[in-house]
Chain A
């Protein structure tokens, strides 16, 4: 077997020697997976910190009556010292608020959740689950990580650009994004680099899963997590290039004087913007959402796969409806390409076209609910083991249900007219992504940590982390749904300037306190992560008594993973099979 450059591929590369080649520029999928894991957790923390600053501003947006600049509170003097220009006396300049908002969204989606769900767990677990010694293209895999890191650094570097970071939202709507300061150019270049990285990854994932499964591991015996990764890789492969096309056009609009998104005679700053014009800002929205709606499922499917693995292991019974789960994921993959314009009901779309997208959007909720139902039904009659990963999995189900169901009123054009661009939207998609995906990814970290590092994480700290995460998250996101229904618009640094927001301003203070609590709640996790590296309880090959192939090799697996190529004899979730000596029957155990 040879890779694209004809050099010996996965099986042949010898175990590298020396720290740099073993841990930094490694081509081993396990090291790359851990690099992605750590990097994306750091990016998540950065994105979260930005949000804390914004929530601080929203909690107390204007000086109280008894405000005295001479007697600042500790937090205010700290913020005043940290950002003397953009947060004087701890009150945020609206431009800085816009920058943080745009960067928070971009970082969380493209540098946090996606790399964590796809690149970290996908890289680490998927080759193990299919019984492969490595990915199909190990060096392409390494290139993917380093490209990703460069893209992330370019995005963060935009804060140093003249005029600061991008401030047109994570959606970068034209024409505002075209006339914005230089930071937006960093955003576009960073995005093109990140897209390239994700294409490397997607190609690698698809080829690996289609070509390198162990003997006997038919597609029908593939764990749900792998199926989720396969659908996700196809979405990334086909949807991301369209955003790349859109980003190239926006980049040229900014640097080469084209007018793809600039209408004729655009008035900007009370003069006509000096361009030929004739372009259409709505074109950007179409190209952007053609990626960004499938992207929602890129954020969601790998976490769903993780949840399926955790639930099957900890209910000690086969998943309910394996075929329906996989079928629903495939259906979601297909449908996700024809729902994008439901983000654009307010763009002046024809009502007949809007009703088409209403229909497709409501259709895609059917497989999503089917997946949730399968996972819920898997719990029925089970003797559940309530360990930390399972707690996260159990929390995922209702949280994701809230996220999914609050999406329906946004999918209906008539109700969306009222809710569009309000905090209701923010609440909805954060329920999908934070108490949904992120909870699942944290659960996945607890679940596969013993495989990655050979030791279990502390259950005690894990449970503290769990409650300190799930409860505050609900106090952060549920009030947003209420604020949104009152009409509070997103992207406002000082919402109290509009009187209709005053009745629900009180919730912002509660959200702020909850967000700070959530931040504190992550400290047990960080301590646990590092403490358990050395001091956690040693985990054997198969600490959870699970059935899939990743538990059939040592923890952590050596270079090349399996001592002998495993052979698979049965489906992935053969738990509590009557007559079998244990309550789990590993896939590779000969009858």
Chain B
């Protein structure tokens, strides 16, 4: 079995693959966000609802929850680098908690907006809102499964201070999902 030092780049397969995957994800979200930006500036019929209808405070809280979960992910990685499994478990649980809070608030927001008449087919803004945030929600959900897996593998004793590639890759993915939201939040809620 080759080790990281034996790859030509000095980067493990998993991490290089994760970066390549994230590059494609950037193009996926980039394509959708560009479509939104173009129609928002180019279509006469993309009516943005008033900010009061969008529930900015709740979304701000949600942004905070997701950013916090990114921080706890960094702490979890630091814990495994020290070899402290108990601390690692605690921080991964916090990360999962942050993700779950985000999803719950999102579910409430969807319900609330639907009641207020912003649906996926009501107008172009609604269509983009549900499409962009919906795809993001799918990514958050996927990330939570990934975290659960990392927690299980860590508890099983898979990771050592020298070998914890999967934690790092899961972290990269989670930060990416966070970053997408940091872009979606201003362009959908604030601007």
Contacts and interface: CB of A to CB of B under 8 A. Distances in A.
Nearest to B20: A203
Contact of B16 (A206, A237, A287): A206
Nearest to A257: B121
Nearest to A284: B35
Nearest to A6: B166
Contacts of B127: 252, 256, 258-260, 276
Nearest to A140: B17
A431 to B, nearest CB: 30
Given A264-B45, A279-B43, A202 B32 contact: no
B31 A287 contact: yes
Nearest to B31: A245
B110 to A, nearest CB: 14
Given A8-B1, A249-B35, A279-B39, A211 B45 contact: no
Contact of A248 (B3, B18, B32, B39): B32
Interface size class of A (residues with CB under 8 A): 35 or more
A286 B31 CA distance: 10
Nearest to A133: B2
A267 interface: no
Interface string A176-217: 000000000000000000000001001110110011110000
A148 interface: no
Nearest to A246: B31
Interface stretch (B5-13, B67-75, B94-102, B179-187): B5-13
A137 B28 CA distance: 23
Given A12-B1, A240-B24, A242-B30, A258 B166 contact: no
A283 B31 CA distance: 11
A20 interface: no
Contacts of B122: 276
B86 interface: no
A258 B3 contact: no
Contacts of B59: none
B27 A239 contact: yes
A9 interface: yes
Nearest to B18: A4
Contacts of A137: 13, 17
B21 A241 contact: no
Contacts, number: 154
A4 B14 contact: yes
Contact of B120 (A199, A203, A252): A252
B124 A207 contact: no
B153 A6 contact: yes
B103 to A, nearest CB: 20
B contacts with A: majority SS: helix
Contact of B2 (A5, A11, A239, A257): A11
A276 B1 CA distance: 58
B16 A207 contact: yes
B46 interface: yes
Contacts of A9: 1, 13
Nearest to A135: B13
A401 interface: no
Interface string A225-256: 00000000000011111101110110010001
B1 A277 contact: no
Contacts of A212: 7-8, 13
A260 B35 contact: yes
B28 A242 contact: yes
Nearest to A203: B20
A252 B131 contact: yes
B57 to A, nearest CB: 28
Nearest to A219: B8
Interface string A531-569: 000000000000000000000000000000000000000
Contact of B13 (A211, A244, A246, A275): A211
Interface string B33-58: 00100110011111000000000000
B84 interface: no
Contacts of B165: 2, 6
B169 interface: yes
B28 A244 contact: yes
Contacts of B160: none
A202 B16 contact: no
B9 A210 contact: yes
A158 B39 CA distance: 31
A290 interface: yes
Given A240-B24, A280-B42, A287-B35, A258 B121 contact: yes
Contacts of A279: 39, 43, 124
A249 B120 CA distance: 12
Given A11-B2, A244-B28, A287-B31, A2 B23 contact: no
Contacts of A246: 31, 35
Contact of A249 (B9, B131, B169): B131
5 contacts: A1-B2, A206-B17, A210-B8, A211-B16, A280-B38
Interface of A: 1-6, 8-9, 11-12, 136-137, 199, 202-204, 206-207, 210-213, 237-242, 244-246, 248-249, 252, 256-260, 264, 275-280, 283, 287, 290
Given A3-B14, A6-B158, A276-B122, 11 more contacts: A2-B14, A8-B1, A207-B17, A237-B20, A249-B35, A256-B121, A256-B127, A258-B127, A264-B44, A276-B127, A278-B45
